[in-house]
Chains A and B, each alone.
Chain A
Amino acid sequence: MAKTMFSEVKSTPQFWGTLVILGAFVGAAAMSVLYIEKYGHIVTGMNNQIVWGLPHVFAIFLIVAASGALNVASIESVFGKADYKPASRLSSVLAIALLMGGLAALVLDLGRADRLIIAMTKYNFRSIFAWNVLLYTGFIGVVAVYLYMQMARGIPAIWLRSAGIAAFIWRLALTTGTGSIFGWLVARSAYDAAIMAPLFISMSFSFGLAMFMLVSTCTKRLTGQGFNDVLRLRMARLLGVFAAVVLYFTAVQHLSNMYVAEHWNVVKFILLNGGIYTQLFWIGQVILGGIVPMAILFHPSLARKTKPLMAAVLLIILGGFAQLYVIVIGGQAFPLDMFPGLEVSSSFFDGVINSYTPSIYEWALGLGAVALAFIITGIAIKILRILPEATSE
């Protein structure tokens, strides 16, 4: 097999133009953050019932996708598939970039974002949230070392493989931790399930590979540098498998809850009578985000064509957002069951389905976080030898 040559991407008006547009999103996010900081979360759609809103959906999507974006690099150096090498550096870069975008959304939505230093210096090790702070920052470090190994000359293969294995194990731990933020919430019937951890791992494989395919296709179009269509088709088939695995874990999650009488009401809410959440689940996640893209990805000819393939990739990404919206917001919209079997009412919205309408500031923050991840990726491919040269395919 020919040796892959990597290079920095060339400056083109399209490349810089894209970065400027992305920068506008980041600017809008920054202004939103300052606005929320000044007036408080009253200007958002979040309240004392829906305490985590759209910024958290974006943040969790990006964090989950970050670990999955590392799939391609792992396939090359952990599972020894050398033909994935042209894509492996971008895989590591995107993993770091997506995580930074997700962390930005998470941190900037804090009630006291100015106290970030406290979150970095005071740890309650019984909190999975505190562990996640370490898992997230550690992931950036581990993948950065891995990327260095991928890029440096004369690194022994065993070192690269070891770094790859470390990063792979770390990403599994990271997604386990993210899923457990919800899985360990004993008070809420929509969560409180150990399956959240493997469900989130499966989501990371799917969303992360989809984000990688989207970004790598865009960068190839913008710069002319990337990997060949044979490799892309293999990734497409793999993405189809991952999408199926997500549907599998989702099915097990809801079937298990159906069996538990005390959880039946929340299952009914999500699957049957939850309004927007039911629609997002069936239409957004299952049909448009699962079955339709799988049909494209496993199709003999459609998956070879760029437009249907990109449609499938975008559907998986949007389906992923829908899934996380249902998990994060839908799970809170369903009221706490403090008095099983009794009808409850109060001035504090006990016993009612809680409503939530995200504000423009939350959209701006979330989209800005995505843009930030893309900008970091753009800068990385501009200053580092991340993408294969156009002639080395």
Chain B
Amino acid sequence: MNWRAIKAIVQRDLLAVFRSKGVMLPLIIVPLIFMIILPGAFGLLMPVLNELPGVNTPDITLFLERLPPALLARFEGYTTDQLMIVFMLVYMFAPMFLIIPLMVASVVASDSFAGEKERKTLEALIYTPTTDLELFVGKMLSAMIPALVVSLVGFLLYGLTANIAAWPIMGRIFFPNAAWIILVLWVAPATAATGLGATVIVSSKVNSFQEANQIAGIIVLPILALVLGQISGVMYFGVLVTVLLGLVLWVAGGILLFFGVRTFRRSEILAKR
């Protein structure tokens, strides 16, 4: 492996991403909404939520009834407001956090794989001495690095926002818990790999950034299923569930990347054009 060539590809793709408004906007706006605005608003508005016209605090009875006793014991002594804060900011936001690595990896990979075909810049790269695998690894890292950096920064900002905004109710640092640490270090990279693998496969079939991005966006559906799973009380983001979820996503990501790397061959790319 020629790591200097791989570094050059990463540098090139990241420069291209940073200078594209179309690519950068979702990378800034989506984390801003999910990691700062929503938790901040919830934490700040919680004390006055019942007083807002037309707003009711969600009924968490169903969720609490289905929690295992060991976890339920941890909530002992919490006021209803504190329970609501923990329920929302620790549990309900957990699957939504996964949208960040998924979206970043998918948007950058769409630009790096399909967008490059659209801009006709891939051909020059194809005539360099880099091997197909080096090209693929370079492009894969170009998507993975921002996905992991944005996830980590998003997590830190989320933690800061949640603790500050909910301080009047909680009176202590309540975030993160162990499941969130696992989520950030184990599940988020797996989610990014899954989004990346799906986007690489989609990109091999289409010829534009928009097409790739829109089709690959379907992969967000399983994450919505996780949100619904928690709302309905079927599951919750405890340590074991989070570890298992990461494992499933790593396997899925590995399979998708395996097929992705097989589609990324010079001869295949050129033969399809």
Physical interaction between A and B: no
Residues in chain B within 8 A of chain A (CB atoms): none
Residues in chain A within 8 A of chain B (CB atoms): none
